[in-house]
Amino acid sequence: MKKILIPTDFSENAWNATQFALAFFRNYDVNFVLAHIEHPDILPSAFETLSSYITGEMLPTSQVYQALENNKKKC
């Protein structure tokens, strides 16, 4: 079984990419893992070159589930 990580910020573009991945791998045994990714506003504008500043922040599960439910309604 394949595991596929899908980074998402729950934007329209991310939703389209997720739908593409689901369709592309529809004939495979796959576990999809959604990772909510956001651009941190508190970091310097050149944070792409300063990887030591990049940190992860866990959102409450309820917020993630709500965002998923909102996207599911689009189908």
Digit-by-digit pLDDT tens for the chain (75 residues) are 889 998 888 888 888 999 999 999 999 999 998 888 776 665 555 445 444 444 555 556 677 677 777 767 665
- Give the model's pLDDT for residue 69: 76
Place of tokens 């939703």: 15
pLDDT, tens digit, 9 for 90 and up, residues 25-40: 999 999 998 888 776 6
Residue 33, beta-bridge partner list: 5
Strands 30-36, 2-8: pairing kind: parallel
Mean per-residue pLDDT of the chain: 74
Among 21, 54, 19, 49, residue whose Cα is nearest residue 38: 54
- Give the model's pLDDT for residue 50: 45
